[in-house]
Amino acid sequence: MFSGKSEELIRRLRRAEIAGQKALVIKPAVDDRYDVGNVVSHAGASMRAVTAATSAEVLRLASGYDAVGLDEVQFFDDGIVDAITTLVNRGTRVVAGGLAQDFRAQPFGAMPTLLCIAEFVDKLEAVCHRCGGSATLTQRLLDGRPAPFDGETVQIGALDSYEARCRACYEPGTQAHVVAA
């Protein structure tokens, strides 16, 4: 989050369009922040996008396109790995952007497999909200405090509930309730 993933995805797909390729951005139906018909980066860049609820739908929508961008790919079901492999084997260029770790600092969805099978991987870093260092972790905050480890994984929010953090500033959520007397 906040690392410029969507910005980079848009940049690459635009270049494909400039090169005369038919390009399409698909985002998971779960991610409805900002704008349903577009993929929008935190910095404000946007590109027309369609939503898909399942990886089977991704495969159907991608048919006939030369280049396909998948935004927030961690939110798709596990079938997304096979769907991407099928597209790549057909000669489609696939650019997938996703969050590698969830707010618990655990591997997120199909991302570990995708990172493993991808020809090219660019790991982008965000800026730590606390110290300004390089951030690779996502701090989830509830009422300004680290969210508990067992909280819901999927809660797409804005700046007030998630922060990019470096490893030193990341605060793991506790699993136990603290009762103060």
Residues belonging to the active site:
72
Shortest distance, position 90 Cβ to Zn ion, whole Å: 43
What is the sign, positive or negative, of the torsion defined by CA atoms of 115, 89, 52, 55? negative
Which residues, at least 6 apart from 17, have a Cβ–Cβ distance to it below 8 Å?
Answer: 23, 67
Residue 23 backbone phi and psi in degrees, to 5 = -120, 145
In the complex with Zn ion, the residue whose CB is nearer, 86 or 101, is 101
CA–CA separation, 107 and 116 (whole Å): 12
Among 133, 146, 148, 172, binds Zn ion (CB under 5 A): 133
| Part in contact with Zn ion (CB under 5 A); list of ranges 5-13, 40-48, 68-76, 166-174 | 166-174
For the CB of residue 75, give the shortest distance to Zn ion in the complex, in Å. 26
Among 95, 128, 137, 141, which residue interacts with Zn ion (rule: CB under 5 A)?
128
Q: Report the C-alpha gap between 7 and 5 in whole angstroms.
A: 5
- Binding residues vs Zn ion (CB under 5 A): 128, 130-131, 133, 166, 169
